[in-house]
């Protein structure tokens, strides 16, 4: 069987532990897995596309057959342009199924040769979604164990710009300059 290239499309706003779990599973199943971020989503995102690319690149650096890319327009057209034979999507609970089935069948109508493969993330992530992570973080709640540490930090920085300056290992350049002038 030619396991070829698969595409894992989504918004990833932000990437969660559930996404990473699926990326890891997908990377074992396919020769190459392209994690593709939709550029022109109607939703107003919390993280810019550039920020999401940076986070995902950092988080997937250990998997040599995983590549991060972006796309616009129809997913099937993008999949064709990179010669992907499969679309990978995660199903966490029965509530995901209806939307995912609709999307898979529409994609099949648009491009009959492209197969959709569904995988389940680990059960401990079965309630985790980017939307709920954003909601909890915005209300000041903890998102530890739901997202990787690097994403948790980015969420904190995004929601509280002063957070970065309070970290002991981050040098406050303005203070450093003031100290130098006094000396
Ligand atoms: O993470 P999400 O938001 O559930 O991902 C949805 C996504 C990006 C996979 C889907 O909206 C998509 O493929 N959009 C691209 C436009 C498209 O091809 N639409 C027809 C699919 S039915």
For 100, the token pair is 């995912």
Rounded-to-integer distance, Cα 143 and Cα 155, Å: 9
Query: 159 C-alpha to center of ligand 1: Å?
Result: 27
Ligand 1 site residues, Cβ closer than 6 angstroms: 9-11, 38, 74-75, 103, 106-107
CA proximity to 3, closest of 81, 86, 63? 86
Within 8 A by CB and 6+ apart from 106, the residues are: none
Nearest CA to ligand 1 atom 20: 74
Q: What are the catalytic residues?
A: 19, 43, 92, 130
Q: Which atom of ligand 1 is nearest to the CA of 9?
A: 9
Rounded-to-integer distance, Cα 39 and Cα 170, Å: 31
The number of C-alpha atoms within 13 Å of 10 and in the hemisphere containing its C-beta is 26
Pairing of strands 66-71, 32-38: parallel
Query: 63 C-alpha to center of ligand 1: Å?
Result: 24
CB count in 10 Å sphere of residue 2: 7
Kindly give the residue spans of alpha helices, DSSP state H, lying in the chain: 17-29, 49-59, 75-81, 94-110, 130-138, 149-159, 163-166, 173-182
Nearest CA to ligand 1 atom 2: 10
Q: Which atom of ligand 1 is nearest to the CA of 77?
A: 18
Note if the pTM is more than 0.75.
yes
pLDDT in tens, the chain (183 residues): 447 999 999 999 999 999 999 999 999 999 999 999 999 877 789 999 999 999 999 999 999 999 999 999 999 999 999 999 999 999 999 989 999 999 999 999 999 999 999 999 999 999 999 999 999 999 999 999 999 999 999 999 999 876 655 555 544 444 444 554 554
Residues facing 67 on adjacent strands: 34
């Amino acid at each position: 069987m030619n396991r070829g290239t698969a595409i894992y499309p989504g918004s990833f706003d932000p990437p969660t532990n559930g996404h990473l779990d699926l990326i890891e599973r997908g990377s074992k199943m396919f020769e190459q897995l392209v994690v593709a971020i939709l550029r022109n989503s109607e939703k107003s995102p919390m993280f810019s596309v550039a920020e999401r690319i940076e986070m995902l690149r950092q988080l997937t650096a250990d998997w040599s057959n995983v590549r991060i890319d972006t796309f616009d327009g129809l997913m099937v057209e993008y999949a064709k342009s990179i010669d992907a034979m499969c679309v990978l999507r995660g199903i966490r609970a029965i509530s995901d199924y209806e939307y995912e089935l609709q999307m898979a069948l529409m994609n099949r109508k648009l491009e009959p040769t492209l197969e959709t493969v569904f995988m389940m993330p680990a059960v401990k992530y079965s309630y985790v979604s980017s939307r709920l992570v954003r909601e909890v973080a915005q209300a000041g709640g903890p998102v530890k164990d739901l997202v990787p540490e690097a994403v948790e930090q980015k969420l904190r920085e995004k929601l509280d710009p002063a957070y970065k300056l309070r970290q002991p290992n981050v040098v406050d350049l303005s203070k450093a300059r003031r100290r130098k002038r006094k000396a």
